Structure 1
């Protein structure tokens, strides 16, 4: 069993935050050097990663959106 099998989805707060930061977005958020413009794309990417990498990608998206809003 891999780490992905143990925790196959993002947490509810993670999903809600991603939906909020990607709602109506016109400029992409970059995480791991990859641009994400829609919630659907942003939510799929972390699910393909191991749990520790998933959390890091989510944190990077969150930080990028926060920096952009200031």
Structure 2
């Protein structure tokens, strides 16, 4: 199984995204799109190519660190 065959997000990414978006009242803006829920963010990330997905995921993670 190659990296492209693995489902995304993986368990560590899902857990972090759930923590980031749990109870969020102020959306995180990534790529000019505001995300308030885990489902919105996950759906968006799954629609991206692998490299863009990783970049957007890291942007979400960094935005949450700055916000918190």
Looking at structure 2, the residues matched to 48 and 34 of structure 1 have their Cα atoms a distance apart, in angstroms, of 14
Q: Normalization by structure 1: what TM-score?
A: 0.86
* Displacement after TM superposition at 1:7 (Å): 4.2
Q: Secondary structure at the match of 1:30?
A: strand
The aligned counterpart of 2:63 is: 64
- Structure 1, unmatched stretches of 5+, are none
Contact 1:7–1:51 (8 Å) recurs in 2: no
Aligned to 1:54: 53
Task: Count how many residue pairs are aligned between Structure 1 and Structure 2.
Answer: 65
Aligned-CA RMSD value: 1.2
